[in-house]
Amino acid sequence: MGIGGSWTLMQLGIADKLEERGNTVFCHHKSGLTPEEVLAARRAQLTCDVFLTGTNVITADGRLVNMDATGNRVAAMMFGPKKVFVLTGANKIVPGIHEAMERIRTTAAPQNNKRLNRPNPCVESGQCMDCQGPTRLCNITTVIHKKPPASDIHVWVIGEELGY
């Protein structure tokens, strides 16, 4: 099973629970991994049987909007794993794409920068400053409008505030 970089999944402790019950888990944000092991886990996520992830935003009409730094999370959401489960708190629902991008710029991306201790200006300002340095997290934006034909995506909205 693959686990995408997601504060929601970390809050739920899903990676540990799966390992405890004997699943092989490809999770690149476990502590103590070497850079080679992190890269191997990211690659393994692309072809795993089941990929679990959060989403930065979901629109009221069901579009999944995400900003990614490396790309393994959004790539695995779109194609590769046999099944994809997207778990999200109800706080991630917004009316449309415009509001989704606004939420990423003012909430999700700055909070992720803070959590990952990135020295980017949004940590101080609380909103995107469109930085251009090597530590920038916002390199890839994706919108999944409808289920791609070769993917089996299931979205579970949990009725509480999870992630950011």
Out of 121, 147, 151, 157, name the contact with ligand SF4 by CB under 6 A: 121
Q: Give the phi and the psi of residue 57 in degrees, each rounded to 5.
A: -150, 150
Q: Is 136 in the site for ligand SF4 (CB under 6 A)?
A: yes
Q: Which is nearer to ligand SF4, 88 or 107 (CB)?
A: 107
Q: Which of helix, strand or coil describes residue 99?
A: helix
Q: Would you count residue 65 as binding ligand SF4 (CB under 6 A)?
A: no
Q: Using CB under 6 A, which of the segments 19-27, 86-94, 117-125, 142-150 binds ligand SF4?
A: 117-125
E strand segments, the chain: 2-3, 26-27, 50-53, 57-59, 64-68, 83-89, 93-94, 140-144, 153-158
Q: Is 128 in the site for ligand SF4 (CB under 6 A)?
A: yes
Between CA 5 and CA 150 the distance in angstroms is 23
Choosing from 130, 149, 150, 159, the residue that interacts with ligand SF4 (CB under 6 A) is: 130
